[in-house]
């Protein structure tokens, strides 16, 4: 059974028009599972039934027709591949017929198969009248009139076999696999089975699941291992997309799982308090005002939200507009997901829409629709990812993948394709993606900052690299790799830059070197040099230049030596110390005739350079 393809068919129509009876006649299963439903003779919540033939199974989701239970109806239709619009021949098109039809149309569900039921209760004139009204229902809503309207009786069985044969033939032609999205399902029921724990049910919308897989439920973000899988009463070890499934998830308590949550195989955070969308409002009055409070039905979720209109405070109905949905609690959603808009009170369907981004910037005021949002309105993953980058400049890859809701493989292929075409940039060891304009702007600013620093500090070797931390490290690294910047230890510089000194500064440098060259080991310490050279910043630069050009040696923070004098001292010291074995401060002082202010830092320098080692109060040559 698990190898069969499965087509999901949803019923729609007014209360008591024979939806559940028709499903029973087709499948032999009573989709009304509640005692109250059987007692009252009406469907209250969604029910399930299926029929198998060879390699194809028809899985029916039977929905309530009463106006009070449209929310439950919406929880069932999100996953269907085709709709059965059921109209009782003796009553014709009724209010919930029209509302259900609008819901199917607004959710983009196609095909919609019209079925006249209770034909045993109507004469030919009434049958023709009902058929005419069904055709008008399609045409007045902008759809082509149906090629065929089926006539059936759930009571006598007349016409049912023709309908079933047609559904199987049509089902063979429907290709509903979705390989680009991670395996996920919208939770439509949760319950507990004694001895097994919590179970959730839904339609697996994409991918596959197997026992032992981990599944994460959003918006809570909690994870459980799948202990058991069940498809229409049969335990299975794995299950593929577009099939009804029950998951045994024992790590969850029943109260932690509710209808409307989304269970995802990949750990992609799709929880959000607001989302960008495009809406189509078709009824509900003459005007639609900014921040109108509505009910949003999305997947199996039903949540109250306010609609922030982007371009104007008031829209004339009917309208098609960009907006931001501000939910009154966190929900799980992703790009491309369709939803229904219903008025807050009294409750009735007024429109529908599609999610354009689940992690957008928060919109305020009224402005023209930005280019990024227009790109997200296109159906391709390519345009949607470029839309994200157009608005934010850069984005974490996992953040983008969650918003696009793509498998890792599809996302990587998309990113690589756009990177090859230079539509975006991705750098090694960086988890972010960058818009080309963001990279160009950052490169320009970095080079400008470094160039300005060179102009203001011509004597310094380069710009301190740590001060570029406000820019992406990957872009700085790329500039170095491409030769646009040169890395010199802790500084960066433009390739053409070399330090420059005025004639006066050059004369001071020669004077400083001369002082060190003439004074042997007992050179002027830094405080004395500062009295000699009034420009202390220049002095620091000249000392650093002397060290970098290998003319000076830094012994301590205040003590510097001429390089040649230091070399001669080391040669003499190694010869003497080697003959001594161990020696103390007093012996060195006597041998080299140095006072302590020079002797102590010099010996500590030799220790630090691993030329000598100190043992208690003695030292010896290494």
CATH number at residue 590: 1.10.10.10
Q: Per the domain annotation, does 593 fall within a domain?
A: yes
Q: Are residues 210 and 75 in the same domain?
A: no
Mean pLDDT comparison of 18-27, 286-295, 531-540, highest-scoring range: 286-295
Nearest to 207 by CA among 242, 248, 249: 242
- CATH number for the domain spanning 126: value is 3.40.50.300
Q: How much is the average pLDDT of 466-486?
A: 94
Which letter, b or e, does each residue of 358-387 get, where b requires 16 or more Cβ atoms within 10 Å of its Cβ? bbbeebeeeeeebebbbbbbeeebeebbbb
498 in any annotated domain:
no
Domain that holds residue 589: 564-621
**Same domain assignment for residues 163 and 193:** no
Statement to judge: residues 28 and 100 lie in one domain: yes
pLDDT band of residue 368 (cuts 50, 70, 90) is very high
First to last CA, the chain: 81
Query: CA–CA separation, 270 vs 404, rounded Å?
Result: 10
Same domain, 425 and 442: no
pLDDT digits (tens, 9 = 90+) for 33-64: 444 434 434 343 567 788 988 888 898 888 76
Of residues 458 and 404, more confidence is placed in 404
CB distance 308 to 363 below 8 Å: yes
Same domain, 250 and 230: yes
How far apart are the C-alpha atoms of 119 and 91, rounded to whole Å?
A: 11
Q: What is the mean pLDDT of residues 560-566?
A: 95
d(CA 580, CA 441): 64
Rounded Cα gap, residues 395 and 389, in angstroms: 7
Q: How far is CA 546 from CA 461, 512, 523, in A?
A: 12, 9, 15
Out of 124-128, 175-179, 195-199, 506-510, give the one with best mean pLDDT. Answer: 124-128
Report the CATH number at residue 443: 1.10.10
pLDDT, mean of residues 472-486: 95
The residue assigned the tokens 């029209």 is 98
Q: What is the CA radius of gyration of the chain?
A: 39
CA distances from 37 to 12, 233, 350 (A): 17, 21, 28
Same-domain pairing of 450 and 569: no
Q: What pLDDT, on the 0 to 100 scale, is given for residue 200? A: 94
Preceding peptide of 346 cis, ω within 30°: yes
In sequence order, the β-bridge partners of residue 198 are 192
Alpha-carbon gap, residue 609 to 532, rounded angstroms: 30
Residue of 174, 91, 94 lying closest to 127 (CA atoms):
91
Contact 509, 542 (CB under 8 A): yes
Instruction: Tell me 596's DSSP state.
Output: H
Helix (H) or strand (E) holding 605: helix 596-608
pLDDT in tens, 327-367: 999 999 999 999 999 999 888 899 999 999 999 999 999 99
Domain membership flag for residue 111: yes
Q: What is the mean pLDDT of residues 251-267?
A: 93
Residues 13 and 115 in one domain: yes
Last residue of a domain, one of 416, 432, 448: 432
Report which of residues 82 and 75 the model is more confident about.
82
Taking 3-state DSSP, the helix, strand and coil percentages for the chain, each rounded to the nearest 5, stand at: 35, 30, 35
**Is residue 584 in some structural domain?**
yes
Number of domains in the chain: 5
Of 124, 142, 173, the one marking the end of a domain is 173
Q: How far is CA 113 from CA 9, 82, 141, 145, in A?
A: 10, 7, 15, 11
pLDDT confidence tier of residue 461, bands split at 50, 70 and 90: confident
Statement: residue 73 has pLDDT above 90? no
Of 143, 173, 203, the last residue of a domain is 173
More confident site: 505 or 482: 482
Are 195 and 59 in the same domain? no
287 lies in the same domain as 415:
yes
- What confidence tier does 604 reach under pLDDT thresholds 50, 70, 90? very high
43/15 Cα distance (integer angstroms)? 8
pLDDT digits (tens, 9 = 90+) for 125-170: 999 999 999 999 999 988 899 999 999 998 999 999 999 999 999 9
Q: Which helix (H) or strand (E) holds 125?
A: helix 124-140
The pLDDT score that the predictor gives to residue 43 is 42
Residue 517 lies in a domain: no
CATH number at residue 199: 2.40.30.10
Residues in the chain: 622
Tell me how far apart the alpha carbons of residues 614 and 583 are, in angstroms, rounded to a whole number: 10
Which of the four pLDDT bands, split at 50, 70 and 90, describes residue 237? Answer: very high
Predicted pLDDT at 72? 65
For residues 304-315, average pLDDT: 97
Q: Work out the pLDDT band at 489, boundaries 50, 70, 90.
A: confident
Domain assignment present for 540:
no
Banded pLDDT at 68 (limits 50, 70, 90) = very low
Q: Is the pTM of this model over 0.95?
A: no
Q: How high is the pLDDT of residue 506?
A: 83
161 shares a domain with 91: yes
Are 484 and 576 found together in one domain?
Answer: no
- Which stretch of DSSP H or E encloses residue 24? helix 19-27
Share of the chain above pLDDT 90, in %: 70
Contact 108, 34 (CB under 8 A): no
Q: Residues 446, 479: contact at Cβ < 8 Å?
A: yes
**492-540 pLDDT per residue, tens:** 999 998 877 788 888 888 999 999 999 999 999 999 999 988 888 889 8
Residue 543 within a domain = no
Residue 523 lies in a domain: no
Same domain, 206 and 166: no
């Amino acid at each position: 059974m698990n190898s069969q393809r499965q087509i999901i068919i949803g019923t729609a129509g007014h209360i008591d028009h024979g939806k559940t009876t028709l499903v029973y006649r087709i499948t032999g299963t009573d989709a009304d599972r509640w005692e109250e439903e059987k007692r009252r003779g009406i469907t209250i919540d969604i029910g399930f039934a299926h029929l198998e033939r060879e390699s194809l199974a028809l899985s029916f989701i039977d929905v309530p027709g009463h106006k009070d239970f449209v929310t439950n109806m919406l929880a069932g239709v999100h996953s269907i591949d085709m709709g059965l619009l059921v109209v009782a021949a003796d009553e014709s098109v009724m209010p919930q017929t029209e509302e259900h039809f609008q819901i199917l149309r607004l959710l983009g569900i196609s095909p919609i198969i019209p079925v006249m039921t209770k034909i045993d209760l109507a004469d030919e004139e009434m049958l023709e009248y009902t058929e005419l009204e069904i055709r008008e229902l399609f045409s007045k809503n902008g759809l082509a009139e149906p090629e065929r309207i089926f006539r059936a009786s759930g009571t006598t069985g007349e016409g049912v076999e023709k309908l079933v044969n047609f559904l199987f033939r049509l089902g063979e032609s429907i290709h509903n696999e979705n390989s680009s999205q991670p395996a996920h399902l919208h939770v439509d029921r949760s319950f507990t089975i004694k001895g097994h724990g919590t179970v959730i049910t839904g339609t697996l919308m994409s991918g596959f699941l197997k026992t032992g897989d981990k599944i994460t439920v959003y918006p809570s973000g909690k994870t459980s291992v799948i202990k058991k899988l069940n498809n229409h009463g049969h335990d299975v070890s794995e299950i593929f997309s577009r099939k009804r499934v029950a998951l045994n998830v024992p790590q969850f308590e029943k109260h932690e799982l509710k209808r409307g949550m989304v269970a995802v195989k990949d750990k992609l955070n799709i929880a959000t308090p607001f989302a960008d969308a495009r809406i189509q409002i078709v009824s509900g009055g003459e005007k639609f005002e900014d921040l109108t409070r509505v009910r949003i039905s999305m997947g199996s979720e039903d949540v109250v939200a306010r609609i922030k209109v982007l371009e104007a405070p008031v829209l004339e109905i009917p309208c098609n507009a960009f907006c931001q949905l501000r939910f009154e609690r966190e929900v799980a959603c992703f790009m491309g997901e369709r939803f229904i808009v219903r008025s807050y009170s009294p409750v009735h369907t007024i429109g529908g829409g599609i999610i354009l981004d689940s992690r957008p910037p928060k919109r305020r005021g009224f402005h023209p629709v930005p280019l990024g949002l227009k790109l997200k309105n296109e159906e391709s993953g390519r345009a949607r990812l470029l839309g994200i980058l157009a608005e934010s400049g850069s984005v974490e890859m996992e953040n983008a993948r969650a918003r696009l809701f793509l498998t890792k493989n599809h996302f990587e292929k998309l990113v690589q394709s756009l990177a090859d075409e230079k539509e975006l940039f991705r750098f090694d060891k960086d988890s972010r993606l960058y818009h080309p304009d963001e990279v160009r702007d950052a490169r320009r600013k970095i080079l400008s900052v470094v160039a300005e620093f060179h102009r203001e500090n011509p004597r310094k070797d380069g710009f301190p690299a740590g001060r570029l931390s406000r820019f992406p490290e990957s872009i700085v690294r790329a500039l170095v790799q491409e030769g646009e910047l040169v890395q010199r230890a802790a500084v960066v510089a433009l390739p053409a830059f070399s330090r420059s000194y005025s004639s006066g500064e050059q004369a001071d440098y020669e004077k400083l070197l001369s002082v060190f060259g003439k004074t042997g080991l007992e050179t002027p310490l830094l405080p004395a040099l500062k009295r000699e050279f009034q420009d202390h910043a220049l002095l620091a630069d000249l000392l650093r230049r002397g060290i970098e050009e290998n003319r000076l040696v830094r012994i301590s923070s205040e003590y510097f030596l001429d390089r040649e004098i230091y070399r001669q001292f080391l040669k003499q010291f190694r010869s003497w110390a080697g003959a001594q074995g161990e020696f103390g401060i007093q012996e060195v002082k006597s041998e080299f005739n140095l006072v302590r202010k020079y002797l102590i830092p010099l010996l500590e320098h030799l220790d630090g350079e691993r030329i000598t080692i100190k043992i208690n109060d003695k030292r010896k040559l290494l």
